[in-house]
Chains A and B, each alone.
Chain A
Amino acid sequence: MSESPTTHAHEDFALEQRLGTLLRGGVILSAAVTLIGGVLYLAAHGMAPASYHIFAGEPAGLRTVGGVFAGAARGDAASIIQLGVLLLIATPVARVFISVIGFARERDWMYVACSLIVFGLLCFSLIHGG
């Protein structure tokens, strides 16, 4: 234990608090958006027959980040729910991004690199779709 573990732990502590706040905020925000979209959706389609036993795939507008934002801006209920889902998926992605900044402040370049690799993979998945 020669390399100053205490200062490391102290700076990690600050990062831990930030990550905790971010994760909680992301979940609450996305749940609120999903709930609003859900109420609107049930008001409009509550009496329609449910059909989830056959896989048809979602319409194109609900499959991309851009499409979801455009639909939500129009006030489309399904798109608003999907916006809540996107916010939820974005929460861990944002957590990784905050980690990049946190490790950069500690000048811990190895972990900046680790976080950047994970961040890149997540962005690739979300924007490009694998």
Chain B
Amino acid sequence: MHVLTFTLLTLVGALVAGLVGALTGLGGGVVLVPLLTLGLGVDIRYAIGASLVCVIATSSGAAAAFVREGYTNIRVGMFLEIATTVGALIGTVVAVYVSSSTLAVIFGIVLLFSAAQSMRHRVEHIAVTAPGSLGARLRLASTYPHNGELISYGVEHVPAGFAMMFVAGILSALLGIGSGVVKVLAMDRAMHLPYKVSTTTSNFMIGVTAAASAGVYLHRGYIDPALVMPVVLGVLAGATIGARMLARVQVKPLRMFFTVIMVILACEMLFQGLTKRI
């Protein structure tokens, strides 16, 4: 295959991944690595490098809008980013000792877990910060806009959230994903932040988490410019179109379809990893 043909194929695949990622809110990163490795035969290390760069692009692009609208809790984000960046740097060290096959297996498990989470029923929390708790001392409580008014909310179980963010950081570096699912779980389930605040703050944190490991991988030679170029431009174009289409599209059936795709990709990654084909 010529570089030109490969570039065009990758561009189209990345565009679809970015489009569906933005429409479903599940993020494109989690399907990019399987797309590149299973679909186009790219070495998993190059795929992880390219995917991390895309994750920074889409999260920064989306965060720009969410931050202005006042959903994102920048204090919660900033504090928990200590855990995700330390986790990411440790993840880059762990990556040296993990074979490509093992990475594929871990990837498959995380994909299955993400698919399961996407089908979960959502419960909206409004927590109250306990006086004297870590959340109170860190002044994490804030407000968010809902139906035209500002709603106050508190934060609970900060240490548990912090620990989960550490895991999210390791997974992000190891697999080249944003780990949005684990981040949302930490804030929504453990810290009881409102769902919209959890998703936007997770998105806000993803860029910083991915940048921590992308720097290391750049030095290790995982980031190939000729591969990154169509992947990042395709994903950005897809995400931009997706954001514009969002108001006119039935998200629920699309989410269902995307979840099925994730399960199929997960099984294929598990199979390829367990049989040492990757």
A and B interact physically? yes
Q: Which residues of A contact B (CB under 8 A)?
A: 1, 3, 5, 8-9, 12-13, 15-17, 19-21, 23-24, 26-27, 30-31, 34-35, 37-38, 41-42, 45-50, 52-59, 62-64, 78-79, 81-82, 84-86, 88-89, 91-93, 95-96, 99, 103, 108, 110-111, 114-115, 117-118, 121-122, 124-127, 129-130
Cβ of B235 to closest chain A Cβ, rounded Å = 10
Instruction: Tell whether, in the assembled complex, residue A81 and residue B229 are in contact, meaning their CB atoms are under 8 Å apart.
Output: yes
Q: Is B275 an interface residue (CB 8 A)?
A: no
Instruction: Tell whether, in the assembled complex, residue A92 and residue B43 are in contact, meaning their CB atoms are under 8 Å apart.
Output: no
Contacts of B92 in A (CB 8 A): 125, 130
Residues 63-81 of B at the A interface (beta carbon under 8 Å): 63-65, 67-68, 70, 72, 74-75, 78-79, 81
Cβ of A97 to closest chain B Cβ, rounded Å = 11
Whether A57 contacts B221 in the complex (CB less than 8 A), given A45-B3, A118-B78, comes out as yes
How many residues of B are in contact with the other chain, CB < 8 A? Answer: 67
Contacts of B226 in A (CB 8 A): 41, 45, 50, 78, 81
Cβ of A32 to closest chain B Cβ, rounded Å = 10
Q: Give the docked Cα–Cα distance between A110 and B75 (Å).
A: 10
As a 0/1 sequence over residues 224 to 239 of chain B, the CB contacts with chain A under 8 angstroms (1 = contact) are: 1111111011001000
Q: Give the docked Cα–Cα distance between A89 and B115 (Å).
A: 28
Instruction: Tell whether, in the assembled complex, residue B46 and residue A15 are in contact, meaning their CB atoms are under 8 Å apart.
Output: no
Which single member of B5, B70, B139, B211 contacts A92 (CB below 8 Å)? B211
Q: Give the docked Cα–Cα distance between A17 and B85 (Å).
A: 24
Contacts of A127 in B (CB 8 A): 215
Contacts of A31 in B (CB 8 A): 57, 232-233, 236
Contacts of B227 in A (CB 8 A): 52
Q: Give the docked Cα–Cα distance between A91 and B29 (Å).
A: 18
Q: Taking CB as reference atom, which chain B residue is nearest A79? A: B225
Q: Taking CB as reference atom, which chain B residue is nearest A47? A: B2
Q: Is B183 an interface residue (CB 8 A)?
A: no
Whether A53 contacts B43 in the complex (CB less than 8 A), given A31-B233, A46-B2, A48-B2, comes out as yes
Instruction: Tell whether, in the assembled complex, residue B211 and residue A85 are in contact, meaning their CB atoms are under 8 Å apart.
Output: no
Q: Could you write out 9 A-B pairs with CB less than 8 Å apart?
A: A1-B152, A5-B141, A16-B70, A38-B229, A50-B2, A57-B221, A81-B229, A125-B92, A125-B213
